[in-house]
Amino acid sequence: MDNTFFKNLKNRKTGTFFLIAGPCVVENEEMPMEIARYIKKFSDHLGIPFIFKASFQKANRSRSDAFTGIGHEKALQLIGQVGKELNIAVLTDIHTEEQAFMASEYVDVLQIPAFLCRQTELLVAAGKTGKTVNIKKGQFASAGSMKFAVQKILDTGNSQIMLTERGTTFGYNDLVVDFRNIPEMQTNDIPVIMDVTHSLQQPNQSSGTTGGRPGMIEVIAKAAVAVGCDGIFIETHPDPENAKSDGANMLRMDYLEDLLEKLIRIRKAVY
């Protein structure tokens, strides 16, 4: 992702929104390219800028026996290959300062998980790579407080920053979305994204497996586009019920195109 592409993302206050989409985690060698090709085909047709997302590692699983990945280097190589072959920007999560520099060799966007949005050393390391940094707002954080996370990246000399809303903790096992957070975080003059699928998680279930409400994906996405978000983040999978991570809140891949068509109509009506 070069500076021109990032500037275009910042200037999408009218027109369409951009899309960050892909599986929760790289599950095998074939799936990243298969999913990315599928999404790119109709995102190109619809005129929606597309950033492919996949985690190379899941470091924050509830249970110790949960799937965490196929190997850091192997997964990053597969994500990087998607970007090169399809000529699209690619994104992955990082959890440590060392991972920031390792992942920056393969991806265009480094994503800071919500639980780590206050980790100063991690944010600074991500900023120093020169890559675009997408910071997810912590489930515990206010929209206004995210200006401090933004400033940590700016202090490294890197102004390529995005913020993502992904819901606020509501009790022990649920999240709620306050759509006021989108325009409030946009006052930082950076793109603000709505993470539709993670905001519908029902975390910390007694079973040790995160639940979710995928039936509400369309509702949250429509509301976010109507409010004026710059981008939409959706985790998607061909078979969510058998996904190795976060299947309970992912969108079936064959539902995505129809949803995006509806969101485009809303965007045009609003603007």
What does the pLDDT look like over 130-149, one tens digit per residue?
Answer: 999 999 999 999 999 999 99
pLDDT of res. 32: 96
Q: Which three-class secondary structure state does DSSP give residue 153?
A: helix
Sign of the CA dihedral running 22, 216, 110, 240? negative
Q: Where are the alpha helices (DSSP H) in the chain?
A: 3-10, 31-46, 72-86, 97-103, 120-128, 146-154, 181-186, 217-227, 256-270
* Domains in the chain: boundaries: 3-270
Please give the average per-residue pLDDT across 24-38, as a whole number: 95
For 56-97, how does the pLDDT look when each residue is reduced to its tens digit (9 = 90+)?
987 765 566 666 668 999 999 999 999 999 999 999 999 999
Q: 189 pLDDT exceeds 80?
A: yes
pLDDT of res. 70: 87
For 106-118, how does the pLDDT look when each residue is reduced to its tens digit (9 = 90+)?
999 999 999 999 9
Q: Provide the residue type at 90 as one letter.
A: V
Q: Which CATH architecture has domain 3-270?
A: Alpha-Beta Barrel (3.20)
pLDDT band at 246 (very low <50, low <70, confident <90, very high): low
pLDDT of res. 208: 47
Those residues whose C-beta lies under 8 Å from the C-beta of residue 30, and which sit 6 or more positions away, are none
For 155-176, how does the pLDDT look when each residue is reduced to its tens digit (9 = 90+)?
999 999 999 999 998 888 789 9
> Contact at 8 Å (CB) between 182 and 228?
yes
- Determine if the pTM surpasses 0.85: yes
